[in-house]
């Protein structure tokens, strides 16, 4: 049963950009807000994290005041991911900082979204490939990783579909997933 008094403070941003939106929702989860937000994000969006609170609007206002010198416009602030993590830790006994989200949310998957949609399923050969690896901690060049999969499966796959496969596999198996650009190429960081 939904707690009518519980809301949340959330932290969103556009993929590839650093400004963070600090907002609140009267709902326990910012799923609906995130779905609305990502429709205005032409290059993708990510939910950095959120915290559930009874006084979400009050906390949002406090955070806006705290970071007023970093305010860019409205609810947009030039704060770091470390600032966000610090706030989530401070306002929550149990928290999970959400890393790169590819139009999905780890805590509360949008109930309106059909996660069984064919485009979201992980290919069986990909599952066999990735489970053959030691995923304790891996940092790998995205192109090299895709080429290893091609050799393993003898299947050609587009970079976009490969990225989706990796992200969906990690999401459904509780594997921490990050991307970063390093020396001009993209890297996947799994369990790092």
Write the DSSP assignment of 66-84 as a string of letters: HTGGGEEETTEE---HHHH
pLDDT tens for each residue of 46-66? 888 888 888 889 999 999 999
**Do both 13 and 80 map to the same domain?**
yes
In terms of domains, do 11 and 86 share one? yes
DSSP lists the bridge partners of residue 23 as 10
Does 162 map to a domain? Answer: yes
Task: Please name which of 108, 104, 109 lies closest in space to residue 163, comparing C-alpha atoms.
Answer: 104
In a domain, 99, yes or no: no
Is residue 175 within 8 Å of residue 135, measured between CB atoms? yes
3-state helix, strand, coil in the chain (%, to 5): 35, 25, 40
Domain with 62 in it: 7-91
Q: What's the pLDDT tens digit per position in 67-90?
A: 999 999 999 999 998 999 888 888
The answer on pLDDT for 113 being more than 50 is no
Q: Is residue 111 part of a domain?
A: no
Q: CA nearest 75: which of 129, 125, 28, 9?
A: 9
Domain boundary residue, one of 53, 74, 91: 91
Check pLDDT > 60 for residue 34.
Answer: yes
Domain membership of residue 174 (yes or no) is yes
Q: Which of the listed residues 91, 108, 139 is the one where a domain comes to its end?
A: 91
Let me know whether 81 and 32 are in one domain. yes
pLDDT score, position 118: 43
- For residues 86 and 15, membership in a common domain is answered with yes
> Nearest CA to 139 among 183, 177, 101, 171?
177
- Choose the final residue of a domain: 41, 75, 91: 91
Tell me the average pLDDT across 168-174.
76
Question: Does residue 181 belong to any structural domain of this protein?
Answer: yes
In this structure, the answer to whether residues 81 and 150 fall within a common structural domain is no
Is 58 found in the same domain as 127? Answer: no
Same domain, 143 and 87: no
**Sign, CA torsion 86/91/93/94:** negative
Average pLDDT, the chain: 76
Residue 113, in any domain of the structure: no
What pLDDT is stored for residue 30 in this prediction? 85
Q: CATH code at 165? A: 1.10.10
pTM for this prediction: 0.49
Torsion of CA 79, 82, 87, 90, to 10 degrees: -160
Residues 138 and 84 in one domain: no
The answer on pLDDT for 99 being more than 90 is no
| Domain count for the chain | 2
What is the band of 179 on the pLDDT scale with cuts at 50, 70, 90?
confident
The pLDDT, as a whole number, for residue 105 is 44
Q: What percent of the chain is predicted at pLDDT more than 90? A: 18
Whether 81 and 11 share a structural domain: yes
Query: 110 in a domain, yes or no?
Result: no
Higher local confidence (pLDDT), 156 or 22: 22
* Pair 16, 80 in one domain: yes
d(Cα 54, Cα 92) in Å, to the nearest integer? 11
Q: Which of 6-20, 42-56, 101-115 has the lowest mean pLDDT?
A: 101-115
Write out pLDDT tens, residues 10-32: 999 988 788 999 999 998 888 88
Q: Are residues 71 and 141 in the same domain?
A: no
Shared domain for 125 and 87, answered yes or no, is: no
Residue 189 has pLDDT above 70, yes or no: yes
Residue 1 covered by a domain: no
Give yes or no for residue 97 having a pLDDT over 60.
no
């Amino acid at each position: 049963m939904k707690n009518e008094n519980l809301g949340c403070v959330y932290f969103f941003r556009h993929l590839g950009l650093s400004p963070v939106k600090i907002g609140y929702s009267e709902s326990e989860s910012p799923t609906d807000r995130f779905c609305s937000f990502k429709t205005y994000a032409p290059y993708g969006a990510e939910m950095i994290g959120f915290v559930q609170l009874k006084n979400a609007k009050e906390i949002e206002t406090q955070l806006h005041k705290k970071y007023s010198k970093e305010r860019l416009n409205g609810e947009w602030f030039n704060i770091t991911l470390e600032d966000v993590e610090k706030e989530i830790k401070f306002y929550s006994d149990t928290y999970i900082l959400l890393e790169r989200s590819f139009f999905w949310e780890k805590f509360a998957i949008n109930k309106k979204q059909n996660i069984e949609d064919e485009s979201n399923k992980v290919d069986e050969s990909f599952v066999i490939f990735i489970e053959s690896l030691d995923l304790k901690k891996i940092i790998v060049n995205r192109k090299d990783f895709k080429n290893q999969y091609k050799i393993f499966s003898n299947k050609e796959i587009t970079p976009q579909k490969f990225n989706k496969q990796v992200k969906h596999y990690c999401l459904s198996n509780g594997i921490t997933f990050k991307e970063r650009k390093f020396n001009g190429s993209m890297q996947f960081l799994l369990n790092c």
